[in-house]
Amino acid sequence: MTSLYAVTVPVMVRALNNLDHLLAKAAQSGIDEAELVSARLIGDMLPLSKQVQIASDTARGMAVRVGQAEAVSMADDETTIAELRARVAKTIAYLEGVAPAGFENRDDAEVILKLPNTEMTFTGLSFVTDFALPNFFFHVSIAYALLRMKGVALGKMDFLAGNAAPT
């Protein structure tokens, strides 16, 4: 049986490394940085900065709720690509420090997610499969789409393989 740790932390670390690769290409693109950081697909969607912040928050929150890791707060104050990359790096370092043992026997553990207007109850497994991973990849995907929309030269392999993507 595959552990909850194995299907979350290494998967999220890999995707965050790939997100850093996307942001690095954005920084090198010559496109106005403020325009990239504030980019939205549509007016009522959150900007690139918030997409990166929520991906980071989702990964860390999953480690706390399912893996019983200590919570680490990060201010949502990034306004540059360099600051977003630093947040991604801090999130990766945090996840790499999470103990796999904290995820053991947590498949059926109750996980309560408190949102502004509701509260959702999951098992550890359903939280990972039905909320944390889909939410995490939604925000990473939107970050990719925003950068593409603004003209950053990215392809599918940049999203999937990061630095290992063919050039």
Q: Which domains does the chain possess?
A: 9-164 (1.20.120.450)
Q: What's the half-sphere exposure (Cβ side, CA atoms, 13 Å) at 128?
A: 21
Backbone angles phi, psi at 67, to 5 degrees: -90, 5
Strands (E), 33-152: 110-115, 118-123
pLDDT of residue 74: 97
Q: What's the confidence (pLDDT) of residue 1?
A: 63
Altogether, the residues listed in the chain come to a count of 167
Q: Is the pLDDT of residue 111 over 80?
A: yes
- pLDDT, tens digit (0-9, with 9 covering 90-100), for 121-166: 999 999 999 999 999 999 999 999 999 999 999 999 999 988 888 8
